[in-house]
A = this chain, B = another copy of it.
Amino acid sequence: MTAYDDLMAHARETEALAQVAGRLGWDQETVMPRGAAAQRGEESAAMEGVLHARRTDPRIGEWLEAAEATDKVAAANLREIRRAFERSNKVPAKLAAEIARVTSVAQGIWAQARADEDVAAFLPTLQRVVALRQEEGQALAQGGDVYDALLDDYEPGAKASELDAMFGALRPRLVALRAAILDRPQPTPLSGSFDEAAQLALSRELAGVFGYDFARGRIDKAVHPFCSGSGNDVRVTTRTDPADPFNCLYSTIHEVGHASYEQNVEPDYLLTPIGRGVSMGVHESQSRIYENQLARSPAFAEWLLGRMRDVFGDIGIDDPATFARAVNRVSNGYIRTEADEVQYNLHVMMRYDLERALMSGDLAVDDLEAAWNDRFAADFGFAVDKPSNGCLQDVHWSVGLMGYFPTYSLGNVYAGCLHAALRADRPGLDAELAQGDLSGATAWLRDKVQRHGALMDPRETIRAACGFEPSEAPLLDYLEAKFAALYDL
């Protein structure tokens, strides 16, 4: 056994345990009895304790010193192991445990405050979470930029300065595009009756169409759609809304994008440090290209219209152009997760600016609601009506995920790049999509992105897939062209 072999054997067990811990999360959101919550807290904390002890095992430091990378795969595994080891060792165990403890309680307090429309009830908890994450960020940054240090957990190597530039490039063209679209008449909405079982059956069919492997996964209902697990056990959840079948169908396709990235990593990488998606941004690029560039394309919408009429009968729309506008409806709304492709990134950039100000101390937690409401009115042109439509809408800050939000926009930008490269490689894509045939597009993404897992760093993953340097231009060009055609701008 070489030092590298020892390191990988240890890492493999750690990855297996991380899968177990992740599945506890799936269980909690789908099948756990409601009375089990407190006991589950102890179980999850015990698993986190085991994982933290393994990740800070001093033998890792010794093995890392002695280990040599003989190829690109080994180098990538060593990079990932070193990153996790250094990160774990920078954060005192007591602080890590306190963050785990506080955030697990904070999520419940946030949910109650949101249900009660009571921002004040959440603020003391948020104050504590912000302070703990500031402390953690300082420990991680070691004198460098605190926000960059937090961001690195979700998007290794990304810097706030790059994100500033990204949002700066996105903002004016998205604002102009929105104004042009909102100037046009709103599209015809769906009408009809959308049986829940039929929604779920169609969503499963779509999952299969987009390449989800049901032999190595399952789809269940949950309050929030999510994807959980890696390799051969990758589970998806979805939800249904009796009035809006798009909610179930497009949520499922979105999560299948995430799931495909995890299911399609090279089998040899399974349970190794590179055997999973490399970053939140690249992950989101897969879910967004599945959901938007592919499933909201007019070509695919034409096929979907036929399937929906087969399944639901009269849905109030029978021509493809009207239906394509319905799946690409742009309208005023408060909620990020329900936002259209044009406005989604405007929601994200607002959260990004606010969380940076919170973490730097420029914005006091007590002033968050006012700052949110002012910024929302300025960016969206109408006032927030209640906290659940405002600063209490997202779970992220309650669980300490400061630094996560911008990866959504990064994912959209990467999806735009991948889409441009895919179109260049497959000029007949629209003809395939119009037949409900996703096999070519998903095979391309599997080959170019998904199979590599974390072999390359995030930006290199996208650059290698596209053959060009990632930028905001392809996303913006795509959005402007698509919506100009749809809305006759």
Q: Give the residue name and chain of the B residue nearest to A17 (CB).
A: B46
Residues 37-80 of A, flagged 1 when their CB comes within 8 A of B and 0 if not, give 01110110111011000000000000000000000000000000
Contact, CB under 8 Å: B271 / A35: no
- Give chain B residues whose Cβ lies under 8 Å from the Cβ of A43: 16-17, 19-20
Residue from the list B12, B38, B215, B218 in contact with A232, Cβ < 8 A:
B38
Contact, CB under 8 Å: B23 / A27: yes
Q: Give the residue name and chain of the B residue nearest to A34 (CB).
A: B215
Known contacts A27-B27, A31-B218, A50-B50; is A232 also within 8 Å of B36 by CB?
A: yes
Task: List 23 interface pairs A-B (beta carbons < 8 Å), by A numbering.
Answer: A13-B49, A16-B42, A16-B43, A17-B43, A17-B46, A17-B47, A19-B39, A20-B20, A20-B43, A23-B24, A27-B27, A31-B31, A31-B218, A33-B215, A33-B217, A33-B218, A33-B232, A35-B213, A35-B216, A36-B216, A38-B232, A39-B231, A40-B233
Chain A, interface SS category = helix
Q: Give the residue name and chain of the B residue nearest to A216 (CB).
A: B35
Q: Give the residue name and chain of the B residue nearest to A42 (CB).
A: B16
The total of chain A residues at the interface (CB under 8 A) is 37
Known contacts A39-B271, A271-B42; is A24 also within 8 Å of B33 by CB?
A: no
A270 an interface residue at 8 Å Cβ cutoff?
Answer: yes
* Chain A residues within 8 Å of B, Cβ to Cβ: 12-13, 16-17, 19-20, 23-24, 27, 31-36, 38-40, 42-43, 45-47, 49-50, 213-218, 231-233, 235, 270-271
- Give chain B residues whose Cβ lies under 8 Å from the Cβ of A235: 33
A302→B222 CA distance, assembly (Å): 41
- Give chain B residues whose Cβ lies under 8 Å from the Cβ of A213: 35
CB distance from A43 to the nearest CB of B (A): 5
Given contacts A33-B216, A35-B213, 8 further A-B contacts (CB under 8 A): A16-B45, A17-B47, A20-B20, A20-B47, A33-B214, A35-B216, A39-B233, A50-B50
Contact, CB under 8 Å: B218 / A39: no
CB distance from A226 to the nearest CB of B (A): 16
- Give chain B residues whose Cβ lies under 8 Å from the Cβ of A32: 233
- Give chain B residues whose Cβ lies under 8 Å from the Cβ of A45: 16
Contact, CB under 8 Å: A24 / B20: yes
CB distance from A466 to the nearest CB of B (A): 31
A-B CB proximity, top 6 nearest: A36-B233, A35-B216, A16-B46, A35-B215, A39-B232, A13-B46
Contact, CB under 8 Å: B218 / A35: no
Contact, CB under 8 Å: B33 / A233: yes
- Give chain B residues whose Cβ lies under 8 Å from the Cβ of A47: 17, 20
A23→B31 CA distance, assembly (Å): 12
CB distance from A101 to the nearest CB of B (A): 14
A235→B39 CA distance, assembly (Å): 14
Q: Give the residue name and chain of the B residue nearest to A19 (CB).
A: B43
A23→B20 CA distance, assembly (Å): 10
Contact, CB under 8 Å: A270 / B233: no
A42→B43 CA distance, assembly (Å): 20
- Give chain B residues whose Cβ lies under 8 Å from the Cβ of A217: 33
Known contacts A20-B47, A24-B20; is A270 also within 8 Å of B39 by CB?
A: yes
CB distance from A14 to the nearest CB of B (A): 8
Q: Give the residue name and chain of the B residue nearest to A235 (CB).
A: B33
CB distance from A51 to the nearest CB of B (A): 10
- Give chain B residues whose Cβ lies under 8 Å from the Cβ of A19: 39, 43
A24→B214 CA distance, assembly (Å): 19
Most chain B C-beta atoms within 10 Å of own C-beta, residue among A12, A19, A38, A39: A39
CB distance from A230 to the nearest CB of B (A): 9
CB distance from A104 to the nearest CB of B (A): 14
Q: Give the residue name and chain of the B residue nearest to A13 (CB).
A: B46
A336→B43 CA distance, assembly (Å): 36
CB distance from A364 to the nearest CB of B (A): 38
- Give chain B residues whose Cβ lies under 8 Å from the Cβ of A31: 31, 218
- Give chain B residues whose Cβ lies under 8 Å from the Cβ of A38: 232
- Give chain B residues whose Cβ lies under 8 Å from the Cβ of A270: 39
A215→B213 CA distance, assembly (Å): 33
- Give chain B residues whose Cβ lies under 8 Å from the Cβ of A34: 215
A49→B235 CA distance, assembly (Å): 25
Q: Give the residue name and chain of the B residue nearest to A214 (CB).
A: B33
CB distance from A204 to the nearest CB of B (A): 14
Known contacts A31-B31, A31-B218, A218-B31; is A20 also within 8 Å of B36 by CB?
A: no
A214→B45 CA distance, assembly (Å): 24
Contact, CB under 8 Å: B233 / A42: no
CB distance from A221 to the nearest CB of B (A): 13
A399→B31 CA distance, assembly (Å): 28
Known contacts A27-B27, A39-B232, A270-B39; is A46 also within 8 Å of B33 by CB?
A: no
